[in-house]
Amino acid sequence: MSPSQNPRFLAVIMVLAVAVATPGVADVVELQPDQPERYVVQKGDTLWDISTRFLKTPWQWAKIWKINEQIANPHLIYPGDIILLRWVEGQPVITVERGEVVPGVPRPEVEEVGPLTGRGRGDKLVPRVRSYAREKAIPTIPPSAIGPFLTRPLVVGRRELKKAGYVTIGMDDRIALGDHSVFYARGLKGRSDEFYYIIRKGRALRDPESQRLLGYEAIYLGDAELLEPGDPAKLVVTRVAQEILPTDRLVPTPRTPPLPYYQPRAPERKVSGWIINAHDAVSEVGPYTVVAISLGERDGMERGHVLRIWRHVGARKDPVTLRPYRIPDEETGLLMIFRTFNKVSYGLVMSAVRPVHMLDKVTTP
């Protein structure tokens, strides 16, 4: 069969023809040239890994994911699931089938929910949802890369700092506090929270263009447990990451949520921002590095949003005319948002073809 007679070849040509004929169409799903038609999910996989096996544009996974309503938790993917690539009316569709056993993963036990309506001739079967006793669903991104950042305060505003409790003095007038140090604090205002994070105001996070204050970096110092409420309240340091001093702030520790599961996707509208901070404040970062950007919930940012990173070079001096000229931004990589605040969001650099820098630009892909 010649390429021109191949149904899949014709389907791809039709999709491309529509994209070319319709100016501004940017949502055509791009498949990897060597994408599999069938893939068995393995232990240790992430949704991002699987997305990149099939798609050049992994943030478009949600666009071609077809939910199977006959499967319990149809949004989740488990080790042993079979990911299938199919074509429907010339468009790629990803579906999942359950039940294949992979090494190290026990065969799922099937529980049928909903009775059959009769056994006699002419009786009909009622559709049933099958639920499986299996391992945890695979995460979107490696848990180890973002786990510590899911609950700890990463950015605080002026108002939050003003309302937060603060360390006054340690037992026996100790100034510098370490592990197991007992200390007093004020400003808890009758709170009876059992556990607290201890933080320190870090550097100001500002929009690179307007210089408006977006918040302050929250430097994590350790954990504390409340021993006696009151003013002052008595607490004990249960974990120390850095030396704790008077005036350091106390914020209640939220209950640890399960690792969030979300499908990578592009923001619903065009956005443009900047990388304004990087974990450990390094000047160059690479894949699986946590960074802060100058876009937050007020800009429509949500967990799972994928942004393209651009190397922002700026202007340079022309050697002939001696006048400044602008060098175009160069594409660097992709990041995915995993936690949002009002004016700032935190994302994980998922891929990078060159080092990512502070003040690099981020946009809707």
Indicate whether 5 pLDDT > 70: no
Indicate whether 115 pLDDT > 60: no
- In this structure, what CATH number is given to the domain that contains residue 313? 2.40.30
Q: Which pLDDT score is estimated for 272?
A: 95
- 280 phi, psi to nearest 5 deg: 70, 5
Distance from C-alpha of 142 to C-alpha of 49, rounded to nearest angstrom: 10
Q: What is the mean pLDDT of residues 138-149?
A: 84
Q: Which pLDDT score is estimated for 339?
A: 92
Q: Which two tokens stand for residue 3?
A: 């390429």
Same domain, 225 and 276: no
- Asked whether 286 and 280 are in contact (CB, 8 A), the reply is no
Alpha-carbon torsion angle 120, 124, 127, 131, nearest 10: 10
How does residue 70 score in pLDDT terms, banded at 50, 70 and 90? low
> What mean pLDDT, rounded, does the chain reach?
81
Distance from C-alpha of 92 to C-alpha of 3, rounded to nearest angstrom: 18
Same domain, 358 and 288: yes
In percent, the amount of the chain with pLDDT more than 90 equals 48
Residue at token pair 């320190």: 200
**Residue 162, CA distances (Å) to 151, 156, 188, 198, 214 in order:** 20, 10, 11, 14, 16
Question: Is 124 domain-assigned?
Answer: no
How does residue 284 score in pLDDT terms, banded at 50, 70 and 90? confident
Question: Is 113 domain-assigned?
Answer: no
Q: Which pLDDT score is estimated for 251?
A: 92
Q: Which pLDDT score is estimated for 307?
A: 97
Question: Is 87 domain-assigned?
Answer: yes
Indicate whether 121 pLDDT > 90: no
**Helix and strand totals (H; E) in the chain:** 5, 22
> 189 or 343, which is more confident?
343
How does residue 331 score in pLDDT terms, banded at 50, 70 and 90? very high
Same domain, 214 and 302: no
Q: Which pLDDT score is estimated for 281?
A: 64
Question: Is 48 domain-assigned?
Answer: yes
What's the structural domain count of the chain?
3
pTM: 0.74
User: Which of 85, 8, 106 lies closest to 39 in space, CA to CA?
Assistant: 85
Q: What is the CA radius of gyration of the chain?
A: 26
Q: Which pLDDT score is estimated for 309?
A: 97
Same domain, 244 and 294: no
* Alpha helices by DSSP H, the chain: 7-21, 47-54, 61-64, 143-146, 158-163
How does residue 149 score in pLDDT terms, banded at 50, 70 and 90? confident
Same domain, 279 and 200: no
Q: What is the mean pLDDT of residues 165-181?
A: 93
Question: Is 224 domain-assigned?
Answer: yes
> 15 or 241, which is more confident?
241
Q: CA 354: distance to chain centroid?
A: 21
Going across the sheet that includes 82-88, the strands are 38-40, 82-88, 91-97
- Asked whether 308 and 266 are in contact (CB, 8 A), the reply is no
Average the pLDDT over each of 55-59, 276-280, 296-300 and give the range with the smallest value.
276-280
> 4 or 153, which is more confident?
153
> Which residues constitute the domain of residue 29?
3-97
**pLDDT tens digit sequence for 205-261:** 999 989 999 999 999 999 999 999 999 999 999 999 999 999 999 999 877 655 667
Print burial letters for 252-268: b (CB count within 10 Å at least 16), e (below 16).
bbeeeeebebbbbbbbe
How does residue 108 score in pLDDT terms, banded at 50, 70 and 90? very low
The residues with which 112 forms a beta bridge, in sequence order, are 130
Q: Which pLDDT score is estimated for 20?
A: 36
